Structure 1
Amino acid sequence: MTNGDHKMLIGGELVEAAGGRRYENFNPATEELIGTAPDGQAEDAERAIAAARKAFDETDWSTNVELRRSCLLQLQQGLREVADEIRPLLTAESGMPLALSYPMGIDGPIESLGFWPELLSTYEFERALPTKQIMGGTSERIVRKEPAGVVAAITPWNFPFQLNLTKLGGALAAGCTVVLKPAPDTPFSGTVLAAVIAKTDIPAGVVNILTTSDNKVAEILTTHPDVDQVTFTGSTTTGRLIMRNAAETIKRVSLELGGKSASIVLDDVDLASSVAQAVFAACMHAGQGCALATRVLVPHRRMDEAVAIAEGLLGGFGWGDPMDMANMMGPLVNRAQYERVLDYIEVGKGEARLVVGGRSATHDKGYFVQPTLFSHVAPDSRIAREEIFGPVVCLIGYEDDEDAVRIANDSDFGLSGAVFSGDVERAKGIARRLRTGTVAVNGAQWFDPESPFGGYKQSGLGREWGVEGLEDFLETKTFSFPAV
């Protein structure tokens, strides 16, 4: 796509922002300008919301399940055709390694989009309850699922294309209309969607994509009376603000927020394999994943052994230029995040033992931080409790299974986790006790559109993916009538 092709989508039209305003988009690996995006203003947000409201109220999108199925399949095919065009844009603006764009960044999300039309072919939007005598009369009752209405979808910069598609897929399958606002750092992951959607049969106004550098413009989406639901992925701090904003009009809110997940390595497992898996996963994409398990719990008596394994793994970990297919880790997304991670590393130096890494990389440009490992980390230390969102791994010792579960659950967050054991049943028992939304046992993957994803505690509200992800965008109505 040329620079001029990056436009917003409002009311079925690819448009510039009010007054033609645009803002610059930079490559975090090189700090070079890669292009500009429309800088949406308050009036653009108002137009997008109005278009979504009109499409919900005046078209049959909310009631025509077959139209939704066919349009989602059409969108999926359209995205398949431009996947290789989108791929370098994603890496350029987010720093996601090109190697990750296949399973997690571009191709995987496009194929996952097919889950929604498949679900729509079997999902029952109405079900009958048994005929029953109620208050002196015999009643028939129907429980009906109906779309929530206009949805504001606000997405982050770490997996931008995947999260844009995840939120659009669930909301559109439910029959909602959407105003999608991508993160300011990754606008092109929204504008490429806008260009494809504009060529589909999705009715005008059903999907609106608003790019902006101004958080106050985004805030309109969380307060506007014509928005019925807000779905947000991002920091817990911003999630709290969205809940406060939504409270005034009692909007539905779905939040996928921060995490400080734990991998528990039990004492009966091959330490070399399990510690290596846990540390590798924690540093992937420079640790910029809310579900990454950056706390690795190992038995106290095997701490030194675990340190040696982790140090060796990180010594050969592929990182640097995200366009190099050998690298699993590129830069942090921007200077603010870069400085935040370096600040946490300085905190960690005073709390635990620095084993490897611990400073910025020796690159001339780009927001690169070395993969960093701290050992003998106290469970109550800042680096063990606060989300760093960088390639910083904490090795934490524990006494026994009870102690491991206690440490893992002693967190404000509850998004994900992992358990490694030579006994699968033992590992499953630990998994059932973890207060998190997902748990991987012995490296088995849950990351799939059939699997509901979301968090406990301050990791969020609601679920994405799965039947639960569809129902997150549905209201429930019961109506009754006299039995014949």
Structure 2
Amino acid sequence: MTTATEVQHHLMRIGGQDVDSGRIMTLIDPSDESVVATVAQGDAAHVDAAVAAAKAAFDTGVWSRKTPQERATVMRRIADAANDAIEHLIELELSCNGATIRQATGFHIGYAITHFSYFADLADAYAWRRPAPIMTFPTLAQSVVHREPIGVVAAIAPWNFPLLLTLWKVGPALAAGNSVVVKPDEHTPLSILEFARIAERNGLPPGVLNVVPGDGREAGARLASHPDVGKIAFTGSTAVGREIMRLASGTVKQITLELGGKGPSIVLDDADLDMAVDGVLYGCFVHSGQVCESGTRALVPRDIQDEFVARLVERAKTVTMGPTRDWDTDMGPVINATQQARILDYIRGAEAEGAQVALGGQALDGPGFWVQPTIVAGVTNDMRIAREEVFGPVLVVIPHDGDDDAITIANDSDYGLAASVWTSDNARGLAVAERIRSGSVWINDAHQINCQVPFGGYKQSGIGRELGPDALDAYTEAKTVHLDLSGGRAAKPYDILLSHAD
């Protein structure tokens, strides 16, 4: 195993400067438990310094007072430079979070750069001034709604898609003219640290994008409660999201929360079973099930349940686990030993409640944090494994007795992030989708994250939406500017309070 003394040490980025802290976090490759790198660990004092740098940059107007078109030009230059560095970014990403090279290339980094470019285009297209209809009562007047940057935005990002989900926050924040402080997950800070340096080399002024790796309980909590932070954007667990809401409430910050999920994959009785089997497995096992919108509950017609489980098992046996840098590998490890143990505990708990493991259900011998692709049958929707987010390669199969029953089971959840419907009848699929309480419903597909439409969840899956044409709304303040056109004192309704002067 490589030792920490033989690997590169990465520093925080605050106010355009590399900053060390005297404390380190060691980054581990989940596939083999080797040490990837060390990184400076920030604390509340470093968060304070980063917020101060962001606020100073905002107040000078070096970024906030550029025209939207000027900001878009710089952001496109950054995206081009990131694309030139894509191989390096891919390696930084998969070395820390266990993604396969196919997934890191297509989703983790490929999507990240494309989506950042989309936010640059939004800066050009966004309605920064929105005139209201001319008023005629009580006086003639015109109002215009201005959309203006909030100030300092805090982005707290997860480990599963470190760069992509960070840029879902950084991109619209920068497009709107804000300054940003990022607290990446302590397991996966390398790709956003590198992106910040790429951004500064390509025209982003120092202090506009700051990155402070650190522990969530210290650095993250300080960001969430900091009085000079006007907006918190967070992706992660529902439990942590609740704590961020509590901390942000002290200064009444704006918040966007993208939280957990327990997505239903609803198979109807007219579905193409070959496509549905592949789609359900894809919906659950991509990135080893470590995706918030994964379809982890397969709702299957009762009379074909046994056949469908048998098909799932045979197809899932073809999923290849192996070195994450091998293009033939389908599925990598989970993030760490704690998560591996947690996933296995859910599986053992399901067995204790009467469910049956039809495939997998075990860890693989190390090194690395591997969990077999697992299919659990005989599940009812009241079992813990059907209620709680496992965040691993575990698919549970629940029988249903027709469309109405399937919809009832799908909606019987604390979550409502994403769902899929599998049917050969488009009209029937659309009718089911209308009744699903979920932020996204994919018909005959899964994991279709499109930057041109909003993404987020109902219920305890979050607050607000990311992506889509209105993505900048969450990173701006609305100011109404009212211009009187009546032409003088006599036309005003002031006599409701004040009599006319002699």
Gaps of 5+ in 1: none
1:126-275 equivalent positions in 2, closer than 5 A: 126-135=129-138, 137-213=139-215, 215-275=217-277
Asked whether the 8 Å contact 1:182–1:189 carries over to 2, the reply is no
Shift in Å, 1:287: 0.4
Residue 10 of structure 2 corresponds to 6
Amino acid at match of 1:199: R
Deviation at 1:450? 0.6
Which has the higher mean CA deviation after the structures are superposed, 410-419 or 465-474? 465-474
Taking only aligned residues, the RMSD between alpha carbons, in angstroms, comes to: 1.5
Letter in 2 for 1:24: T
Find the counterpart in structure 2 of residue 334 from structure 1. 336
Contact in 2 for aligned 1:379/1:385 (Cα 8 Å): yes
1:470 to partner: Cα distance: 1.5
Matched, 1:294 2:302: no
Counterparts of 2:300 and 2:52, CA distance in 1? 54
Distance in 1, matches of 2:434 and 2:150, equals: 32
In 2, Cα distance between the equivalents of 1:364 and 1:419?
37
* TM-superposed deviation, 1:154: 0.3
Counterpart of 1:364?
366
Aligned counterparts, 1:272-283, within 5 A: 272-283=274-285
Figure out how many residues of one structure are paired with residues of the other and give that number: 479
- Name the counterpart of 1:431: 433
Amino acid at match of 1:408: A
Residue 374 of structure 1: SS of its match in structure 2? strand
Does 2:82 match 1:79? yes
Query: Which residue identity is paired with 1:125?
Result: W
**Which residue does the alignment assign to 1:117?**
120
Greater than 4 Å deviation, 4+ residue runs = 2-5
Residues 163 and 103 of structure 1: CA distance in aligned 2, closer, same or farther (over 3 Å) = same
Larger mean CA deviation between 454-463 and 113-122 belongs to 113-122
Shift of 1:479: 1.9
For 1:59, the aligned partner's letter is G
User: Structure 1 residue 62: deviation in Å?
Assistant: 2.3
What secondary structure is seen at the aligned counterpart in 2 of 1:132?
coil
Match of 2:16, as an amino acid? G
- Range with bigger deviation, 140-149 or 282-291: 140-149
CA apart distance, 1:53: 0.8
Kindly state the Cα deviation for residue 320 of structure 1 after the two structures are TM-superposed: 2.8
1:188 is matched by which residue type in structure 2? L
Q: 1:284 to 1:295 in 2, by over 3 A?
A: same
**Bigger Cα displacement from structure 2, 320-329 vs 71-80:** 320-329
1:19-40 C-alpha deviation (Å, 9 max, x unpaired):
x332211111111111101111
How far 1:281 moved relative to its partner?
Answer: 2.2
Asked if the contact 1:358/1:371 (under 8 Å) is kept, the reply is yes
Post-superposition Cα deviations, 1:136-191, rounded to whole Å, max 9, x if no partner, equal x1111111111122111000000111112221111111211100111001121222
CA shift, 1:280, in A, is: 2.6
Q: Which has the larger radius of gyration?
A: 2
Q: What is the alpha-carbon distance in structure 1 between the residues aligned to residue 168 and residue 456 of structure 2?
A: 12
CA contact (8 A) 2:420 2:444 kept: yes
Task: Give the unaligned 5+ runs of structure 2.
Answer: 1-5, 487-502
Task: State TM-score, norm by structure 1.
Answer: 0.96
Instruction: Tell me if 1:409 matches 2:411.
Output: yes
Contact 1:8/1:194, CA 8 A, preserved across alignment: no
Equivalent position of 1:28 in the other structure: 30
Kept in 2, the 8 Å contact 1:262–1:295? The answer is yes
1:459 maps to which of 458, 461, 466: 461
8 Å Cα contact 2:262/2:295 also seen in 1? yes
Contact 2:420 2:446 in 1 (8 A): no
For 1:450 and 1:147, the matched residues in 2 are separated by 21
Distance 1:468 1:256 in 2: 16
Measure, in 1, the Cα distance between the counterparts of 2:193 and 2:414.
35
Judge which range, 321-330 or 298-307, deviates more.
321-330
- Helix, strand or coil at the partner of 2:470: helix
CA displacement 1:97-139 (0-9 Å, x = unmatched): 111012101122112211112122221111111111233x111
**Separation of aligned partners in 2, 1:287 and 1:51:** 38
Deviation, 1:471, is: 1.0
Per-residue CA deviations over 1:62-103 (Å, capped at 9, x if unaligned) read 232122101211110111111111212211110011110121
Change (3 A) 1:333 1:444: closer
